[in-house]
Each structure stands twice: as structure tokens, then as C-alpha cells.
Amino acid sequence: MSAPERGPGRPTPPIALADPGAAPARIAARRVEPDAALLARLGDACAEVVTDPAQLGEASRDWWPLAAFWAAEGALPARAAAVARATSRDEVAAVLALCNEARVPVTVAAGRSGVCGSSLPLHGGVVLDLCGLAGVVEVDDASLLVRVRPGTFGDRFEDALQREHGLTAGHWPQSLALSTVGGWIACRGAGQLSTRYGKIEDMVAGLEVVLADGRVVHTGGHPRAAAGPDLTQLFVGSEGVLGVVTEAQLRVHPRPAGERRAAFAFERFEDGLEACRRILRRGATPAALRLYDATEGVRHGGPEGRSLLLALDEGEPALVDAGFLVVEAECAAAERLDEALVERWLQHRFSVVPFEKLVARGLVADTLEISAPWSRLASIYAAVGEAVRALPDTVAVSAHQSHAYSDGACLYFSMAARPAAGAGGGGDAWYRDAWDAATRAVLARGGSLSHHHGVGLNRARFVAEALGTGLEVLAGVKRVLDPHGILNPGKLGLPSPFGPVGWP
Ligand SMILES: Cc1cc2nc3c(=O)[nH]c(=O)nc-3n(C[C@H](O)[C@H](O)[C@H](O)COP(=O)(O)OP(=O)(O)OC[C@H]3O[C@@H](n4cnc5c(N)ncnc54)[C@H](O)[C@@H]3O)c2cc1C
């Protein structure tokens, strides 16, 4: 896959906000303000410290859909007291040490494309902006390893790998130009070609992380190791609550020489799931194996009333051909469609429906991605659809299978409502109820809380249920690494010394 047109290399807001300097914060939470002495010390410690109200407003939002709908009403979810823009590991360490000493919350942010509110500064405090800590540091072509700084936006990273080194990371989230390497790692992200290249946790070979008190830890760096548990994975998915990633070593691949494409129509979504399961079971790993239900299939040019499967593989031509023999064999009972449908998908794979359009149509909407073993996917698909459709005001629920493994897959649901009471108060209530209904339907049937968007604020209320005693283990790790709880309080369902947060 070739790199798309370059984005701006800085955060892109989800929707215009009329007056970011004056917009009120809608989430109620105890506020912490750094005093003038701390601000002065932060200014000495790092490249830039900003307290301009308009810039603070913009730095205090991400792509959490509910907050995007609030923005249409002129409100922010939260408001930072200061933004510190760091350009080196040492600056990050200095900012953290100062805030730790002063007990001021620090929320790390980069692309701010997170969709669960994970980079929102709920208690004010300092937003630590890492967009200036960017660029490829080193390429070890023989070992297919790259060292990269966390604030590197995805499109720029892939562009540099492809053009300058003939390599690819193979990580293609829809938000490629909106998101950064550090954000991918912190959220345990997934790209569209994950069935061949893996999720980000499969790509990370090692990390440099700054802890809350400013100490630096290096993890990994070997093909495999047996020196205790894998500390790299402790920080992958930690959403800025355990430390700040200041450099990553990622596994990369030669640019692919071969490619195959195919499209199929299945009578039922369940039939398509079964074909995907059998393809993975036989060891084929086509880069993309996207199965749309009937509602979503037509949007991608598939036939009315049927499920659409798009298959795409890339890599060493002989391996791609061999894998495609398995794909074709397992889809033999389905109708073969024009493979131009794959090109059509590729053309739109980074497109996003503007929130302004949804607001104009009176809609509130979100997406929800989970994973489960193959044996449970069909029942989860049915149960989530039923639970969300039963809510008043729901206008649509649909899903596709987006990432497949030998043991299961990710189901990616889209849900929308047109609240009778308008998008404001009515929208909030439907939004909360839809997440409650869908998540409980998933957890009750053995699905995961999230596959790649993470937890952030929106899913924090479900973590105890999803992790059980695991949450105590995570909270124990948090206490050791961040004893004053300054790192991203209010997220991942962890206890926080800064008190409760008014959502939901
Ligand atoms: C249109 C759209 C499509 C999307 N498609 C996908 C997709 O296909 N796949 C996917 O996985 N996600 C997708 N996402 C979600 C989002 O892009 C990812 O979660 C992404 O990884 C976030 O990266 P970011 O740089 O924007 O991080 P931010 O939003 O800035 O931060 C996210 C979290 O990571 C933490 N964080 C950021 N950098 C660091 C760091 N260096 N050290 C420690 N913590 C850090 C923050 O504190 C926060 O908790 C999509 C989002 C949008 C808006």
C-alpha cells in the first residue's frame, strides 16, 4: 500500500469550535492550576509553555464523538491550565519531575485523534504535547528495526520509511494522518492490514519511557527474551497513565512486491464470518479481510441485502499467491464480485464523515470495536444489534469484521440515533445508554472491552467488570510507577487522588 497525501503534521480537530478561549468545560471535576512559580520553572525546562486561553481550549479536546457533539453547542469537555510542548526526552523528564513534585496532573497528548477521551485534561493541570518530539532516529535495515520518536504522525512515518528506506511499517489506521506513533502504542492500535502485519503490540520491539518522577526506563530491544515478564507490553496500551513513551523501536518490513485482491458476496454475515475463520484456521493471513454486513456492504458497492467480503494481500508474491489459493477455496460457495470493489475501498479508506454533517442531520453517533473468539462472534453480533436497536431514538446499527486472527476477530459496530429531544441533553442520554447496552451485551458473551480504540474516559466505567481482579493488579502497578497519581488521572478506570469525574 502506498502512503497517502501528507496531512498537516499536527492535530486536526474533529469539528470547528466557535470560541475555544471562552468555551466552558462540560465535565465536572476538581481543577488543579499550576501556580506562577511552577509555570516559570516549566518554561525554563521545556521548549514552550502556553497559557493562551484559545490555544488551551484547542489542546483540551480530541475525537471523542460525544465531545465533538458538545463542540457544536460551543462547549469543551475539559480545559487544561497550561500546555507544555516538549521536543526532547530530557524536556519530558524535566516537566514530569516538576509536576510530580507539585502534584499537578499531566495529560500526555499528541495527535489527539483518540475516540474515547483519553487525552482530555479532566482536572486542568498540564497537557504535555509531544508533537514536537518527532522523526525517525535510526533504521537498522538488516534487522528490519526502526527507532522513531513518539510525536511522529503516521503518514510522515510511512512516507519516510517507503521513500527513504524502501520499507513499510504496515500499520495503516484509518486515522494515519491524524495520529502519532506514541498514540498508536499508548492505545494498542490496529491498522487496516493487521491480519498480515499484526497490531501495534506485535510491532513494538522496545521502548524508552519516562516515569512520573522523571526517571527513564528502557525496555525490550531483543528479538525475544526471557528475563522476566515483558515490560514493553506493560506500557503498550497504558494510555499515558504509567509513563510517557519518548522513543519506540518498531519492527518493519520490506515494501511489498506482490499484491492480490478479491471481493465476494455472502448470503448472511455469519456465512462470511465462517469463511474468514476457515481462512485463518488454515494459516492464510491476507493483509485485509474485511467483512461488511448487509447494511454496510451496500455502502461499499456490494449487492443489496448481502454481506460483502473484501480480501487484499501484499508481500512476497509466492506467499501472497499461496494465501490467496486458500482465500478462494474457502469462498468458493460465495458469489465472486468485481475486484474493483477493493480499489473503491482503498480510495475511501482514510475518509471520515464530518461531524458537521451528522449535527446538521440531528444525529448522534459513535463506533464500538471489540474482539471475541470465533465461537462467540455471531452471537455478539446479534446481541449488540438487538440491544442498541431496542433503545428509543436509535436509527441504525451495523457492523463489519475488520481484523482477523486464528482464534477470533474484531467486530466494529457503528450506531446512530436521532434523539427526539435534540442532539444536546437527549443525545447524551442515548449515547450513555447505547454504550451501556452494547458493552454489557459484549462482556456477557465473553467479548473484550475494546480491540483497538482503548478505554480512555468513555469506557472507564466498564473496566472493573471487564478486568475483574486484573484491575487491582493494574492499580498496584500504577501506585508503584506513579505514586502521586499525576499521570492522566480519571482514565482507564483507575483510582485517582484528584477525585471523581462527572461522566457519565
Ligand atoms: C477518523 C478516525 C479513525 C480512526 N481509525 C483508527 C484505526 O483504524 N485504528 C486505530 O487503532 N485507531 C483508530 N482511531 C483512533 C485513534 O486514531 C488512535 O487511538 C490513535 O492511536 C491515537 O493516536 P494519537 O496520536 O492521536 O493519540 P492521542 O489522542 O493524542 O492520545 C491517545 C492516548 O495516548 C496517550 N499518549 C499519546 N502519546 C503518548 C506517549 N508518547 N506516551 C504515553 N502516552 C501517550 C494519551 O495520553 C492518550 O491517553 C481513529 C480515530 C479517528 C478520529
Question: What are the DSSP calls for 365-397, one per residue?
Answer: EEEEEEEEEHHHHHHHHHHHHHHHHTSTTEEEE
> Which H or E run includes 401?
strand 394-404
Q: Is 361 helix (H, G, I), strand (E, B) or coil?
A: coil
Q: What is the DSSP letter of 317?
A: H
504 upstream amide cis, omega within 30 of 0 = yes
> How many A from CA of 292 to the centre of ligand 1?
24
Q: How far is residue 225 CA from its own chain's centroid?
A: 28
Q: Is 190 left (phi over 0), alpha (psi -120 to 50) or beta?
A: beta
For residue 142, give every residue at least 6 positions away whose Cβ sits within 8 Å of its Cβ, in sequence order, or none: none
Q: Is 183 in the pocket of ligand 1 (CB under 6 A)?
A: yes
Q: CB of 125 within 8 A of CB of 100? A: no
Range(s) of the chain covered by CATH 3.30.70.3450: 258-348
Which residue carries 448472511 as its cell?
268
347: cell is 480510495
How many CA atoms within 13 Å lie on the side-chain side of 16?
4
**How wide is the angle at C-alpha 240 spanned by C-alphas 239 and 245, nearest 5°?**
110
DSSP letters for 302-352: PPTTSEEEEEEEEESHHHHHHHHHHHHHHTTTSEEE-THHHHHHHHHTT--
> How many A from CA of 504 to the centre of ligand 1?
21
Q: CB of 38 within 8 A of CB of 91? A: no
Mutate to test the pocket of ligand 1, among 187, 216, 241, 488 (most ligand atoms within 8 A of CB): 187
Whole-structure pTM value: 0.98
Q: Is 453 in the pocket of ligand 1 (CB under 6 A)?
A: yes
Q: What is the tens place of the pLDDT at every residue in 236-276? A: 999 999 999 999 999 999 999 999 999 999 999 999 999 99
2: cell is 502506498
Decide which of 2.60.120.380, 3.40.1000.10, 3.40.430.10, 3.30.70.3450 is the CATH code for 258-348.
3.30.70.3450
Which residue carries 524508552 as its cell?
208
Q: Is 326 helix (H, G, I), strand (E, B) or coil?
A: helix
Per-residue confidence (pLDDT) for residue 1, from 0 to 100:
77
Q: Is 244 in the pocket of ligand 1 (CB under 6 A)?
A: yes
Q: CB of 23 within 8 A of CB of 17? A: yes
Per-residue confidence (pLDDT) for residue 420, from 0 to 100:
80
Other residues' Cβ atoms within 10 Å of the Cβ of residue 94: 20
Q: Is 490 in the pocket of ligand 1 (CB under 6 A)?
A: no
For residue 55, give every residue at least 6 positions away whose Cβ sits within 8 Å of its Cβ, in sequence order, or none: 20, 83
Q: Is 352 in the pocket of ligand 1 (CB under 6 A)?
A: yes
In ligand 1, the atom with minimum distance to the C-alpha of 200 is: 11
Q: Is 199 helix (H, G, I), strand (E, B) or coil?
A: coil
Topology of the domain comprising 355-458: GMP Synthetase; Chain A, domain 3 (3.30.300)
The C-alpha R_g of the chain, in whole angstroms, comes to 22
Mutate to test the pocket of ligand 1, among 113, 118, 368 (most ligand atoms within 8 A of CB): 113
E strands, 31-144, in order? 48-50, 82-85, 106-109, 126-129, 136-140
Per-residue confidence (pLDDT) for residue 356, from 0 to 100:
93
Q: What is the DSSP letter of 35?
A: -
In ligand 1, the atom with minimum distance to the C-alpha of 246 is: 41
Per-residue confidence (pLDDT) for residue 423, from 0 to 100:
55
> How many A from CA of 59 to the centre of ligand 1?
14
> How many A from CA of 118 to the centre of ligand 1?
8
> First vs last Cα of the chain: how many Å apart?
40
> How many A from CA of 500 to the centre of ligand 1?
24
Residues (pLDDT < 70) of the chain are 3-4, 421-426
Range(s) of the chain covered by CATH 3.30.300.330: 355-458
Spatial separation of the C-alpha atoms in residues 235 and 186, rounded to whole Å: 7
Architecture category of domain 136-254 in CATH: 2-Layer Sandwich (3.30)
Spatial separation of the C-alpha atoms in residues 102 and 238, rounded to whole Å: 23
